[in-house]
Amino acid sequence: MEKTINVVFIDDNEVVTGSVKKYFSSNAKINVVESFTDGKEGLEYLINNPDSYDLIILDILLPQIDGLKILEELDSKKYDKKIIILSSYKDDYTIKKAQTLKADYFMLKPFDLSSLESRIEDIFKKDSLKSIVKQTDGIEIEVSVLLHDLGIPSHVRGYQYIREGILLIYESSNVVTLVTKQIYPEIATKYQTTTSRVERAIRHAIEISWLRGDLKLMEKIFGNSIDFERSKPTNSEFLTTIADRLRLHKKEMVV
């Protein structure tokens, strides 16, 4: 029998907390064991009951003790727990600090509950890409923030496929990575769907991006792929260009 994932949810918004508890109340895999709207109370529970939970989901802005301070306290005690950060803030300091304190995922508010469920399952999947954030120094967080800025909502299926595709290309040691012959099949296998559905979902998400996204950011990332008619890059161009941008950024950080 598959082990239940026990979750502690900490967010000062009572409406959000109530929605999360209600959403997972009938979930056979994910159980919200406790929820708090106060950072101090949440931290006290986490420290005193380390065996009662597998995953912590918390906001950054909390009364009395903020989310980053909670992570610092847990890190000082060497607690090895999975962590998802929820935040409406996407500044570099917050993201880098969360990375340093071993956050597994960073989700921007507002978020979709089904997307949150998928992220939880991803973290605990035995056959997943084994803690992508820890292997890539927080690249997964950068991808999530970038896709948000490009106007792709996290609740559409194409968002997840795009994020997965970018990470697969980023991690690939192959100089020429074939999106249609390599990336699509891997995504389709992981999410138990077909390559054609993966392709269509990614295309749909890119269409949304071109309607909602930041044009200046698009010009900066895709360069000649953008013209006065806002012509869109192909799926392959979209995925590989972002992956290459992340590689370049990582090199600059190392230098």
State the alpha helices, DSSP H only, in the chain.
14-24, 39-48, 67-76, 92-100, 113-124, 132-135, 139-149, 157-171, 184-190, 195-212, 215-222, 235-254
Spell out the domain ranges in the chain.
1-128, 149-255
Alpha-carbon span 163 to 246, nearest angstrom: 12
Per-residue model confidence as pLDDT tens digits over 107-143: 877 788 888 898 898 888 744 443 433 444 467 777 8
Taking the CB of residue 128, how many other CB atoms lie within 10 A of it? 13
Render pLDDT for 20-41 as a digit per residue (tens, 0 to 9): 999 999 999 999 999 999 999 9
Note if the pTM is more than 0.85.
no
Q: What one-character-per-residue DSSP string does 73-122 give?
A: HHHHTT---EEEEEES---HHHHHHHHHTT-SEEEESS--HHHHHHHHHH
Third-level CATH fold of 149-255: Arc Repressor Mutant, subunit A (1.10.10)
Query: Taking Cα atoms as reference points, which of 133, 114, 113 lies closest to residue 123?
Result: 133
Instruction: Report the pLDDT value the prediction gives residue 2, as an integer from 0 to 100.
Output: 67
At 147-204, the pLDDT tens digits run: 888 888 878 889 989 999 998 888 875 655 688 888 999 999 988 899 999 999 999 9
CB atoms within 10 A of CB 28: 9
Q: Which CATH architecture has domain 1-128?
A: 3-Layer(aba) Sandwich (3.40)
In this prediction, residue 90 carries a pLDDT of 67
38's tokens: 């106060």
Tokens 């082990």 -> residue: 3
Amino acid 134: pLDDT: 40
Question: In terms of pLDDT, which residue wins out, 213 or 78?
Answer: 78
pLDDT, position 41: 96
**Residues sharing a CB contact under 8 Å with residue 52, sequence separation 6 or more, in sequence order:** 6, 8, 33, 34
Does the pLDDT at position 224 exceed 60? no
